[in-house]
Amino acid sequence: MNRSEAQRAVVESPISSRIFLEGPAGTGKTTTAVARLQALLDAGVPGAHIVILTPQRALAAPYYEFLRSPLAAPGGQVSVLTAGGLARRMVDLFWPMVAREAGFSNPNLPPAFLTLETAQYYMAHLVRPMLDDNDLFKSISVDRNRLYSQILDNLNKAALNNFPFSQIGERLSAAWSGESSQLRVYADVQQCASLFRSYCLEHNLLDFSLQVEIFRDLLRPSLLGREYLRAAVRHVIADNIEEDTPFAHDLLEEWLPGLDSALLIYDDGAGYRSFLGADPEGAAKLSAFCETNLRFDHSFTAPAVMHQLAQDIGFALERPETPAPAAESGLDALVLPSEELRFFPQMLDWVARQTADLIAAGTPPGEIAILAPFMPDSLRFSLTARLDALNIPYRSHRPSRSLSDEPAARCLITLARLAHPEWKLRPGKVEVVHALFQCVEGLDLVRAQLLVETLFPGKHKALQPFSGLNAEMQERITDSAGERYEFLRRWIEDYATQPMDELDLFFSRLFGEVLSQKGYKFHNDLDAGQITAKLIESAAKFRRAIDSAGGLDGVSIGCEFIQKVMDGEIAAAYVENWQPPANDAVFLAPAFTFLLNNRAVDVQFWLDAGSNGWFERLYQPLTHPYVLSRSWTPGRLWTAADEFEANRDVLYRLAAGLLRRARSRIYLAFSRLGESGSEQTGMLLRSIHRVQVEALNHD
């Protein structure tokens, strides 16, 4: 490839170089790092001595792609890791050495490593009885699955920021300046976190926080652990360090003086994962441990007008470090509605029409992203209905969404309950209607309702044969839809005679043998296929984790999994979700999700730009990403001024990050009245208006 002079300077640096490379998104930093990796391998550096460190596995996709290509010279397997992945690997390797000292009740038995889902399962197992019988969390209203995940998040933040988990409640309480009832909530949080930790130690369970703590406190200080890492880690390429945690930064700071080479890559103005513990300020300090500090400024992605608009928005938000607007503003990057859109549905109509016009003019659907601060079901349904009407392909990604919220997953779960009558989880008629509607081609809701009313009466646990309908009813359903229904029914009936213990294998067989075949709606539905893959992976991980922890007494693991999904307690991130979407589909996602995909598109739509959702932090009553960070001074009150300052900084980072990932235009979509009917005067829209005013003043 043709590299710039700045890129060649990095790639061709001496092998022994320690380089800190910074610059905005789109300036070729990761591309340069991949070329540097190739140069190391070509120079004979053993791959086994090279570690690629990223904040999350999906951000390592360019490195995986290179390592799978013929360009990668032989020489051992390069390790591509997250800091958490390294901690798990080390704890697993040295378990006999640390188990007793860590306080586990059964140090002679192997550990059970928990995924996010299985950690939520055990947290729910412990906390749910307390919610039902005691007064825990009575003063707040939050879904139980989010309650469990926020308690786990607190444990993770304590581990990643290197303070004792026993201080979680104390730190949250010391920063609280509101009503005193919230202090009881923080006390309940601490009680639940302590109970969960004790249970893990008693049953050899290792959630993420415990893996990090054991590695940090027991393995890193030990002579054996230090020597092992010193021998294994000689060359490091750490990408997107601004999105990583203090735990990862401490590792790098410790390693850097003794490494043979290092390349650290820092994205200016990023740090989008602050709610997950990202510490961009701590990442910037690592530059002091590198002999060479370089900066890339030339953007290969966004034109100058996008960077100018980012600067203009920063000035409009009154960020002190942002220079005054240039004579030429970045407003040319924006496309605004030509007439006032009074109501929310009118805004969605405008977005759908503009998307169709772009595709008709030659823009590939995969080069269009429709983004919103949040993507709730109502918004997604309203938007996708309009795209469907215009035959526009789309793909959505909402990583925090529970599997139970996905229609395809609910369909599979209902069919699993029908196929396992021994679970005594008989679905209701409405659930069966929607399951058949979701999977059988030719069945609309009315026909599915007719089928179920006759062929799934209350006295039967199973679906009855299609031949049980009278001739008139069969004609209304149609023979083709009836044949597909009957094939599915017989498949479930045959399976139920010899059910499998492994629910993930049931889902695999059901999808492969029935639902993915022609005549069923999963056949050409990419989203449904991906949801099925998630469900299969989730069920497999749940089964393996429970098995390794000793199983469940007298309860089917598959039945327990289904109940947890139905309760909304099973939801996790999947690496394949974060891969680049197919080029033939418009990408629908929350704005932060798009940024964490770390990809650029030609055109972005910013939906509901007048909403406060672009500015205000998501309500999390059981945790606080800033108070539990390393940069926060324990005991200091979190004030309204702190909240405003943090929200303003996040809005700027969000807007600038999106603009740096847009090659052509930004369509600003807003209506005078929001979805709830209230006047739309959010901070993003106000900052754009101020940019317009400043531009008029220059003129």
> Do the domain assignments include residue 259?
yes
Question: What does the pLDDT read at residue 699?
Answer: 62
Query: Within 13 Å of residue 528, how many CA atoms lie on the same side as its CB?
Result: 21
253-258 contacts at long range (C-beta below 8 A, 24 or more positions apart): 253/286, 253/289, 254/220, 255/229, 256/18, 256/286, 256/289, 256/290, 257/289, 258/230
Q: Residue 68 sits in a domain of what CATH number? A: 3.40.50.300
- Check whether residue 397 and residue 414 sit in a common domain: no
In angstroms, the CA 153 to CA 276 distance is 8
- DSSP, collapsed to helix, strand or coil, labels residue 424 as coil
Q: Could you tell me which residue, 555 or 107, shows the higher pLDDT?
A: 107
Q: Is residue 24 part of a domain?
A: yes
Do 239 and 205 fall into the same domain? Answer: no
C-alpha separations of 282 from 53, 250, 434, 642 in Å: 16, 9, 50, 19
Tell me if 610 sits within 8 A of 342, measured CB to CB: no
- Give 39-62 pLDDT, tens digit per residue: 999 999 999 999 999 999 888 999
Position 154 pLDDT exceeds 90: yes
Tens digit of pLDDT for each residue in 345-400? 999 999 999 999 999 999 999 999 999 998 888 888 899 999 999 999 998 876 66
Q: What pLDDT does 460 receive? A: 65
Helices vs. strands in the chain: H and E counts, helices first: 27, 14
Which amino acid, residue 373?
P
Per the CB < 8 A criterion, the answer to whether 485 and 466 are in contact is yes
Instruction: Examine the domain organization and report whether 518 and 554 are in the same domain.
Output: yes
15-26 burial code (b ≥16 CB/10 A, e <16)? eebbbbbbbbbb
Answer whether residue 93 shows pLDDT above 60. yes
User: What is the maximal distance between C-alpha atoms in the chain?
Assistant: 83
Q: What mean pLDDT do residues 73-90 have?
A: 90
Q: Which long-range contacts (CB under 8 A, 24 or more apart) does 455-461 make?
A: 456/429, 456/432, 461/421, 461/426
Which residue would you say has higher pLDDT here, 22 or 132?
A: 22
Q: How many CA atoms lie within 13 A of 458 on its CB side?
A: 0
pLDDT confidence of residue 90:
96
- Buried/exposed code over 34-59 (b: 16+ C-beta within 10 A; e: otherwise): bbbbbbbbeeebebebbbbbbbbbbb
CB burial of residue 126 (10 Å; 0-12, 13-18, 19+): middle
Asked if residue 639 is part of any domain, the answer here is: yes
| Domain contains 351 | yes
Sheet holding 50-53, edge to edge: 79-81, 50-53, 235-238, 261-267, 18-23, 292-295
How far is Cα 147 from Cα 130, in angstroms, rounded to an integer?
A: 13
Same domain, 543 and 432: yes
Nearest-angstrom CA–CA distance, 671 and 607: 10
For residue 572, pLDDT over 70 is answered with: no
On whether residue 88 sits in a domain, the answer given is: no
Of the ranges 12-16, 119-123, 130-134, which is most confident?
Answer: 12-16
CB–CB of 235/579 below 8 Å? no
The answer to whether residues 612 and 546 belong to one domain is no
- Is the pLDDT reported for residue 255 higher than 90? yes
Residue 569 has pLDDT above 60, yes or no: yes
- Shared domain for 657 and 637, answered yes or no, is yes
With respect to residue 584, please indicate whether it lies within any of the assigned structural domains.
yes
Is 91 within a domain? no
Burial status of residue 483 (CB atoms within 10 A of its CB: 0-12, 13-18, 19 or more): middle
**Residue 263: its H or E element:** strand 261-267
Show the CA angle centred on residue 162, arms to residues 159 and 167, nearest 5°. 80
pTM of the model: 0.86
**Which residue among 570, 603, 620 closes a domain?**
570
**Across residues 626-641, what is the average pLDDT?**
94
Do 511 and 617 sit in the same domain of this protein? no
Across 628-665, b (16+ Cβ under 10 Å) vs e yields bbbebeeeeebeeebeeeebbbbbbbbbbbbbbbbbbb
Which range scores top for mean pLDDT: 19-23, 75-79, 378-382?
A: 19-23
Both 558 and 591 in one domain: the answer is no
CB 164 within 8 A of CB 131: no
Q: Are 427 and 417 in contact (CB under 8 A)?
A: yes
- For 159-211, how does the pLDDT look when each residue is reduced to its tens digit (9 = 90+)? 999 999 999 999 999 999 989 999 999 999 999 999 999 999 999 999 999 99
- Are 588 and 672 within one domain? yes
At 578, is the pLDDT very low, low, confident or very high (cuts 50, 70, 90)? very low
Residue-averaged pLDDT of the chain:
90
Look at residue 532 and tell me if it is in a domain. Answer: yes
What is the domain extent for residue 62?
5-81+234-295
Backbone torsions φ then ψ of 238, nearest 5 degrees: -110, 115
Q: In Å, how far from its chain's centre is CA 25?
A: 20
Question: DSSP secondary-structure letter at 677?
Answer: S
Q: What percent of the chain has pLDDT over 70?
A: 95
Lowest mean pLDDT among 23-37, 313-327, 385-399, 534-548: 313-327
143 and 162 together in one domain: yes
Residue pLDDT, tens place only, 480-538:
999 999 999 999 999 998 888 799 999 999 999 999 999 999 988 877 888 899 899 88
Tally of domains within the chain: 4
Task: Compute the distance between CA of residue 223 and CA of residue 225 in angstroms, rounded to an integer.
Answer: 6
Domain limit, last residue, from 570, 590, 624: 570
What b-and-e string marks burial along 152-188, b requiring 16 or more CB atoms within 10 Å of the CB?
bbbbbbbbbbebebeebbbbbbbbbeeeeebebbbeb
pLDDT for 254 equals: 95
Percent of the chain with pLDDT over 90: 64
**Mean pLDDT, range 14-24, rounded to an integer:** 95
Same domain, 408 and 541: yes
Do 489 and 408 fall within a single domain? yes
pLDDT greater than 50 at residue 576: no
Position 574 pLDDT exceeds 50: no
Triad 658, 660, 661: Cα angle to 5°: 65
